Structure 1
Amino acid sequence: MPINKNASYRYRLIDSCLSQKYKKWKYKDLLAHVSEKVAEEFDIEKGISKRQFDYDIQLMRKDAPQGFGAPIVRMNEEIYYEDPNFSILNQPLREDEKAQLYEALGVLSRFEGMPQFEWMEDIRTKLGLGLESLKAELVQFESNPYLEGREYLSLLFEHIRQKNTIEISYQSFRSESVESFPFSPYLLKEYNNRWFLFGHREGIDILYNVPLDRIKKITNSDYPYIENKTLDFSKYFEDVIGVSVMQGKAIEKVVLCVSAQHYPYIKTKPLHGSQKEIEVNQTTATISIEVIPNFELEKKIFAMGDDVEILKPAWFREKVKNRIEILWGKYL
């Protein structure tokens, strides 16, 4: 039975009143109470009409799949549950409700192991759904369950929420040794199936990011927490692709020439929110994006191979050209 938010609120409200074992409701009083609460909840001038209220009562009485099978009795101006222990909240899930919840859990299983989603296992247990039962999923998201560092997500989420300084033991791909430093965490961000932690590293003034797959250990730190009082993360990444924000670099207009065969992919999935179409003909499409060129943009361009050519700016074109020459040299 599809139920909108307003109707669901009314049914729960009526149920909570009729479930009160030590209070007898008169029909007119319950109507007035529900109408007043609906007006407050949904910020409307009038609550519900007597006709709507009667329809709700009638529907709640019906058996599944239309209603809840509620034993509502109206007698001598009083309205009550014939079974004082009844509540729609105590009713077992219907098969259609189980199916809908099953599908929802299949989608949410993408977030397995992430903070604030620990409740999923409890729901599965109560429904008798194990991990195996979710394999016949209807929707698949891109994910990497073997990604190193995922085990730190819940811990880092709590440290960010509680504004705790932590000690990070970290080893970059270019280093043979592990280094440790105090870190004030601000934000967890996912990009290209990798997780990054942003925050303040002791001794460095600019925002610092740490890939979770390079973290070796996280411990508590006695250093004071340095709060973020200047950066708005809802806007911080607006002018870049990915997670690398080049400090002190200006936004530039990057002009690309894309093959006609590949352009539909870029048109339907833009490289960046600023993407604009300059010219389209039978063989190519010329587009522009306004971003701060970075490593992630280079990777996207290389991934498209000979279907894309950088026209502007000249320095970025030259940089990519040099990398192509190095690549070409490896195949000679």
Structure 2
Amino acid sequence: MKLLRKILFPFSVLYGGVTALRNFFYNHNLLKSKSYDIPVVSVGNLSTGGTGKSPMIEFLIGFLRKDFKVAVLSRGYKRKTSGFRLVEENSTVSEVGDEPLQFKQKFPKITVAVCEDRRTGIEKLKEKAEIILLDDAFQHRKVKPSTQILLTPYDDLYYNDSMLPTGNLREFASGAKRANIIIVTKCPDGVAYAEMQKIQLKLNLQEKQKLYFSRIGYDKLIYGPTETQRLDYLLDKSFTLVTGIANPKPLVDFLRKEHYVFDHKTFPDHHHFTASEINKLKESEIILTTEKDYVRLQPALGKFAIYYLPIKTIILKEQEHFLKQSVLDSIDEARFS
């Protein structure tokens, strides 16, 4: 592995140089970022996948929808369509992508749309919403959000990482300066306050930036096409865990810690399952999967015994109120400035 990293290092330097030059152009207004008269909250990361963007978007929807008309805009990764498209509850993954469909089915009353051009998407959503949430848009510099939320996972903090392809960073760690709010995600249960302080020092935050810590929480129920069961329904059963996400380790660790015994079949993030893969999965007695994978798998499996286990973002150390207030303050500033 060390040898491979050395071989790939020149490509990391080249890739980093290109992204740094692009950011230089935007930072000095040689390329233009467009701002809007509607609050636009971006959730993103510096690294490739697996930071918890979807649960964070759902966390924001959960409290913002009570007082505002919320819209979510995503590019609709791996969809087979193009251009602007509103997501409906009966849309398909091939039309809109898995995460946007997940958002719409979970929160049917909000507006969800996909568009690879975020400027076009925002213009079309302005009349439908009071707040627009941008999914995975930290590197989309054509848009200047009113609030930038940057996620970095506890076990792979961006200051310990390096540029693609040697590491997982999409841009140099200095890009974190654009964030208003930084959230360390996927913290272990019972993380010590001293460890949080250590991370805060290493992040070297700017005065304007606020830092919060979160962990993954799992539902006590699992949901299928025809029924809902308690998670412990699976304790004495043989089941297959199917994951097509960037980092299934937290889910696997959680289930093993709770003494579940299962066969784990892992696939790449946003994987489109082939007919032969579906037929092979049908040999399982029961399938447990993630919410994102469920929207891709269930239509192909029909009324097969497939369930998904929802996850959610839990803010640590009584910080939830302060995080919500930080987001609301930034929204008010954007609305009334």
**Alignment TM-score, normalising by the size of structure 2:** 0.22
> Higher relative CO (CA 8 A, sep ≥ 6), structure 1 or 2?
2
Instruction: Kindly name which structure, 1 or 2, has the bigger radius of gyration based on alpha carbons.
Output: 1
